[in-house]
Structure 1
Amino acid sequence: MALAIFDMDDTLVDGDSSNLWLRYQVAHGLAPAEMLPYEAELLRAYYAGDLAMEDYMDYTLTPLCGMTHAEVKHWVDRFIEEEIVPRIFPQAWRQLERHRERGDRLLVISATGEHLVGPIAQRLGVADAIGIQLELEGGVYTGRTCGVLSYREGKVSRLHAWLEQHGETLAGSYGYSDSLNDIPLLRAVDKPHVVNPDNTLRQEATRRLWAELTWQHENADLSSELRTRG
């Protein structure tokens, strides 16, 4: 039995859940449409490996300010069923099941807020999840983060804290990610896998002899539709 660690966005899910969530909030009157262009700029910086995650979180969490945990959960649950479930790669479902059959422990770790990561992981049947922690005061979101952000080297720091807390190790561990930002995480596991990597990550994977996986929707029309909607 080993630990199987999965990035979430663009790895298990075809798309970035934070971006999709902001678009969902705009569509339902929970956030102003004027937020979308600047969020797109921040997201481009993320994919280039140049993003200061604090800037992204500070900006995109503003619509949650003053909302209760229960209110956000209500909307997040709807969002997951309507927008996320159709985007989960079929190969992701199967890979998760293979690890379950082996008796491996599953962990989803993401640079997305925990208000999304935990519920999406649960919808995938994964009990353990690490996301960026959000501050609550009296059950109300402040729009601020707290603790170490699970991004780049911060993912590894949060992972090691989780390992210590749960009495787990990385011996024999598997890792899956699409992102060059997760090179520190992939270097930390015993059996790294890159999923639909860009050229930079593919070069790193080739140099380090990491396994490469291609995951896509088996229905080409569905894949095209989702990418258009995204």
Structure 2
Amino acid sequence: MAALGWLTPRRRSATARSVLAGEASAEAARKTTEVSDEVSAGVSTDVPGEKPVFPVHGDTKAAAFFDLDNTVMQGAALFHYGRGLHKRKFFQTRDLARFAWQQAWFRLAGFEDPDHMQDVRESALSIVKGHRVAELMSIGEEIYDEYMAERIWPGTRALAQAHLDAGQKVWLVTAAPVEIATVIARRLGLTGALGTVAESVDGVYTGKLVGEPLHGPAKAEAVRALASVQGLDLSRCAAYSDSHNDIPMLSLVGHPYAINPDSKLRKHARNLDWRLRDYRTGRKAAKVGIPAAAGVGAVAGGTAAAIALHRKRR
């Protein structure tokens, strides 16, 4: 931590939490690698969509890192997971509406307000506190089939498959809980997932996080930590994301891709001559970035309120 000495105490604390979150996520991912490898070996390669001109077949020093929300899957995994938990009476409709509002405001505002991010964090943790990890993992399997499977982007899935076909490991890197991220990765036949790590004691969630949500700089720290453990050469690795918040992660690797990019990432990618892929058809809806075809009134109401407030503050 000596290298952090030049930072202000507040910045130093935030950086330390990012490092802690990244290392915790990498450790959780490492523990699931062996199981994920067994699953990946039997995955079909018959996936529609385009493939990149690389990866180099047999390059074991390379791997691919994919953001999840709006990169691999339409919408936010955490929101779809929340819908599934709401259906199972984990919380009330008013809580779902509040969560939809938080998601919509975050995407529309285009910046991270610390107080707002804290509210989102506490809302999610309060839902799982006291529940068993195994219970949430089992429910996650059901929720994937109910809400997520049909929202996987075929084009991005094909990009991931190209890395698998070349004998490389493919990881999801997401702010979603590592448990649900691991379920998604396994169902897609990927190697594993780096996600937000919630503290648990004796298999029961405490309502606290290890570090902070795996978002922005924390994602880069997780990728860096995993690469170190697995002996990867980041200059030969690839990373894929839709969000400018993931520029730290994209900048780590030699092959960054902007997938369904937001306006800031699109501009940044063009300036640096990064590869771009856009699988969306409704560009206006994509700019808003809320879960596509969510089908619940809470999302519509939350989004409308967010738009109204956004316009009022302009």
TM-score by length of 1: 0.89
The answer to whether the aligner puts 1:99 opposite 2:163 as a matched pair is yes
DSSP-derived class of the 1:194 partner: strand
Percent identical: 26
Matching residue within 218, 243, 264 for 1:179: 243
1:205 equivalent in structure 2: 269
Looking at structure 2, the residues matched to 153 and 34 of structure 1 have their Cα atoms a distance apart, in angstroms, of: 32
The structure 2 residue matched to 1:151, chosen from 190, 204, 215, is 215
Deviation at 1:170, TM superposition (A): 0.3
State the partner residue of 1:135.
Answer: 199
**Alignment partners' CA distance in 2, 1:36 and 1:89:** 25
Looking at both structures, which has the greater relative contact order when contacts are Cα pairs under 8 Å and sequence separation is at least 6? 2
Letter in 1 for 2:112: D
Greater CA deviation, 75-84 or 41-50? Answer: 41-50
Conserved? CA contact 2:169–2:191, under 8 Å: no
Q: Match for 1:20 among 73, 77, 80? A: 80
**Paired residue for 1:112, among 136, 152, 176?**
176
> Is there any run of 5+ residues in structure 2 with no aligned partner, and where?
1-58, 282-290, 297-314
1:157-184 deviation digits (Å, cap 9, x = unpaired):
1211111222222021111001111011
Are 1:149 and 1:155, in contact at CA under 8 Å, matched by a contact in 2? no
Query: Any idea what SS the aligned residue of 2:195 has?
Result: strand
Per the TM alignment, residue 216 of structure 1 is displaced from its structure 2 partner at its CA by 4.4
Distance 2:264 2:213 in 1: 23
Q: Is the 8 A contact 1:186 1:193 kept in 2?
A: yes
Q: How far does the alpha carbon of each residue in 1:186-227 deviate from its partner, in whole angstroms, 9 at most, with x for none?
A: 11111111111122221111111111101248xxxxxxx952
Return the letter of the residue paired with 1:6: F
Larger C-alpha radius of gyration, 1 or 2?
Answer: 2
Spell out the pairing of 1:51-130 with structure 2 (5 A cutoff). 51-52=113-114, 53-130=117-194
Query: What is the alpha-carbon distance in structure 2 between the residues aligned to residue 8 and residue 211 of structure 1?
Result: 18
Give the Å deviation of 1:54.
Answer: 4.3
Q: What's the counterpart of residue 112 of structure 2?
A: 50
Partner of 2:68: 8
The residue number in structure 2 matching 1:220 is: none
1:170–1:46 Cα change, 3 Å: farther
* Equivalent pair of 1:110/1:155 in contact (CA under 8 Å): yes
* Amino acid of the structure 2 residue aligned with 1:72: L
8 Å CA contact 1:4–1:107 kept in 2: the answer is yes
What secondary structure sits across from 2:172 in the alignment?
strand
CA–CA separation in structure 2 for the residues paired with 1:189 and 1:55: 32
Distance (Å, rounded) in 2 between the aligned partners of 1:82 and 1:37: 20
Of 168-177 and 36-45, the range deviating more from structure 2:
36-45
Q: Residue 206 and residue 187 in structure 1: after superposition, are their counterparts in 2 closer, same or farther (change >3 A)?
A: same
Alpha-carbon contact 2:235-2:255 (below 8 Å) kept: no
Deviation at 1:7, TM superposition (A): 0.5
Q: What whole-Å deviation, never above 9, does each CA across 1:108-135 have from its counterpart, x for those lacking one?
A: 1111111211111111111231101011
Q: 1:229 aligns with which of 295, 305, 308?
A: 295
The Cα RMSD (Å) is: 2.0
- Secondary structure of residue in 2 paired with 1:197: coil
Indicate whether 1:35 and 2:95 are aligned.
Answer: yes
**Aligned mates of 1:197, 1:139 — CA distance in 2:** 38
Give the drift of 1:14. 0.9
Q: What TM-score do the two structures reach when normalised by structure 2? A: 0.66
Query: What is the one-letter code of the residue matched to 1:12?
Result: V
Q: Residue 186 of structure 1 contacts residue 192 of structure 1 at CA under 8 Å; is this kept in 2?
A: yes
Greater strand proportion:
1
| 3-state DSSP of counterpart to 2:130 | coil
Q: Residue 192 of structure 1 corresponds to which residue in structure 2?
A: 256
Please state whether the residue corresponding to 1:176 is helix, strand or coil: strand
Match of 1:168 among 225, 228, 232: 232
